[in-house]
Structure 1
């Protein structure tokens, strides 16, 4: 397995990592087989989160036994010092370890959240205290809005940044350049565009040609582990005919694909449009049906609250048919 240095952390991580979302839908025994298989094939970077139900616990079944072979990353939506401190302890307990290599501020999507995190009583204080105690190694940030992540990196507080980047979502020059200048590691989530890209070998191969550190596709079968690990071991640049195939696939995704830029917000009816589409993707592409529907239930305004005013479509830089997409999502995610 090829390795790259995780920015200024100095950690050497496999170019193909393990994304911890799909492991939620398999049994504990299947998870044990999967994680052991990943480690045996040279995958050493494992990313999970407090919000991924039992993902931390399932990874921990193996990682606590093979701790020296793994670099563990997890993350929390907590924004306050108290909340983050509590989540760090919960992560340690769930994983069954006494040390986490990378702890990330998860899904930072507005300036208010970032300001709260770096405030005198914010999550960053708890992370630094945990770092000084030796229970976490490094601090990172994740999100979908590149402008906000650029602001975060300019603070100098984050050693890694994780965001969606793939053959569809390619607009990342400013963030990539700043990460390079500051020696901040790039962790790529959604490398298959949330499962929309079906040719994993070409989609991941495309990313391996980019200035990123590690790519974390979600995997829930040994076949996926074997194929992705093989790519990380024997990767060579895409051939011209492979570029053609990949381009054809990305073009087929066409208009009906949300990049989660959030320019459509705010919705007059209070609908969190990108989150609706994200949950629909988990339902349809990741087969996390129950998980997605439960989270959809928690939304204050559901997709069927749309009154088809069209303001969102006027603001969407990708000209998505958002009204129709909301209607479709409502039909998929609603009970019944």
Structure 2
């Protein structure tokens, strides 16, 4: 196994990632936003992160050119980085192909962490666990020194709890923020008890939350090892790292500010609990809500449209039957939200053509 020493560690801002032995900055680098940056801009951003002490970089095979941009930026600096990437493939052949492509794009002979990406159904879990499943390929890759640790990511605590009981994953990556706290009750404590490295994603709910610093501080007191905000500007690197110099936990006044944010989004933000499913018309309501966020808040417009083109049903296929409204514990009016999303995307596409 090849092992890269991690340089420039500040013990006040860094921590061990579970029982992996990897020491990482508690504020990592989420690799989604660099998809919309030019190669030179992303390179400058990654260099700024490295120079300020960030050494954990998250990406995925499905994040278009994110791996390639990270690979170029980390060329000659590989010994300063812990890289985590992911495969969406559920079978061994696809997972192995994804890993080999990831290594090529990243310009490295191994990654510290490779994760099964967004395991969101029992069928997904069964497929990766089965003989000939993705985990078989990742275990072989680990034995060959291509991967140090195998992890899992997802949005549904009840599925991930089953995953933790079925396999000894080294790391867990889940959404945590003031709105999405369902992982804090059982999933994260269970992962902590197993010695897993715990990484919080979606810290500002895909850009929906405005109190960035307060959310990051809230998350880092919730039992996770690190948080990985997406960044597209060196100023954000400085701002995000500044939270490590501030006291934790939050004061009552600061918590009140976060609760106001929660109230502000209460009637429009989908928590992906799936109580609304199945939709009588066949819409994947939680995924469509993610697509709306990727389009408008992440500004990944072409990427989102490509994903939606492969979906059986999209926003405009909603018939406003109202079944989802009656099931939603947060009383979200999905038909109205989907109508608005469809109209806004159509208007934006029309404006871009002129």
TM-score of Structure 1 vs Structure 2, range by shorter chain: over 0.9
Given that 2:157 and 2:187 are in contact with CA atoms closer than 8 Å, whether structure 1 keeps it comes out as yes
1:246-293 deviations in Å (ceiling 9; x for gaps) = 221221112110011222222122111111110101112112222222
Please name the residue that 1:124 is paired with. 135
Correspondence for 1:175 among 181, 184, 187 = 187
Taking the aligned partners of 1:265 and 1:65, their CA distance within structure 2 comes to: 48
Correspondence for 1:159 among 143, 161, 170 = 170
1:188-207 deviations in Å (ceiling 9; x for gaps) = 11000111111211111111
Given that 1:296 and 1:333 are in contact with CA atoms closer than 8 Å, whether structure 2 keeps it comes out as no
| 1:135 is the counterpart of 2:146 | yes
Correspondence for 2:345 among 322, 327, 333 = 333
Please name the residue that 2:111 is paired with. 100
| 1:246 is the counterpart of 2:258 | yes
Given that 2:152 and 2:173 are in contact with CA atoms closer than 8 Å, whether structure 1 keeps it comes out as yes
Given that 1:292 and 1:333 are in contact with CA atoms closer than 8 Å, whether structure 2 keeps it comes out as no
Taking the aligned partners of 2:110 and 2:247, their CA distance within structure 1 comes to: 32
TM-score by length of structure 2 reads 0.92
Query: Once the 2 structures are TM-superposed, how far is the Cα of residue 332 of structure 1 from its aligned partner?
Result: 2.9
Correspondence for 1:4 among 15, 25, 31 = 15
What is the DSSP-based 3-state SS (H/G/I as helix, E as strand, rest coil) of the residue aligned with 2:207? coil
Please name the residue that 2:199 is paired with. 187
| 1:300 is the counterpart of 2:318 | no
Query: Once the 2 structures are TM-superposed, how far is the Cα of residue 302 of structure 1 from its aligned partner?
Result: 1.4
1:6-53 deviations in Å (ceiling 9; x for gaps) = 112121111000000000000100011000100111101000001100
Query: Once the 2 structures are TM-superposed, how far is the Cα of residue 230 of structure 1 from its aligned partner?
Result: 2.1
| 1:112 is the counterpart of 2:147 | no
**Structure 1 stretch displaced more, 130-139 or 7-16:** 7-16
Correspondence for 1:279 among 287, 291, 294 = 291
Correspondence for 2:85 among 67, 74, 86 = 74
Please name the residue that 1:317 is paired with. 329
Which structure 2 segments of 5+ residues have no match?
1-9
Query: Once the 2 structures are TM-superposed, how far is the Cα of residue 91 of structure 1 from its aligned partner?
Result: 0.1
Given that 1:37 and 1:222 are in contact with CA atoms closer than 8 Å, whether structure 2 keeps it comes out as yes
TM-score by length of structure 1 reads 0.97
Moved over 4 A (4+): none
What is the DSSP-based 3-state SS (H/G/I as helix, E as strand, rest coil) of the residue aligned with 2:198? strand
Taking the aligned partners of 2:70 and 2:186, their CA distance within structure 1 comes to: 34
Please name the residue that 2:243 is paired with. 231
Taking the aligned partners of 1:294 and 1:47, their CA distance within structure 2 comes to: 22
Please name the residue that 1:91 is paired with. 102
**Structure 1 stretch displaced more, 294-303 or 275-284:** 294-303
Which structure 1 segments of 5+ residues have no match?
none
What CA RMSD, in Å, does the superposition of the two structures yield over aligned residues? 1.3
Taking the aligned partners of 1:312 and 1:140, their CA distance within structure 2 comes to: 33
Query: Once the 2 structures are TM-superposed, how far is the Cα of residue 235 of structure 1 from its aligned partner?
Result: 4.9
Count residues with an aligned counterpart. Answer: 336
Taking the aligned partners of 1:80 and 1:156, their CA distance within structure 2 comes to: 16
Taking the aligned partners of 1:45 and 1:232, their CA distance within structure 2 comes to: 15
Given that 2:189 and 2:223 are in contact with CA atoms closer than 8 Å, whether structure 1 keeps it comes out as no
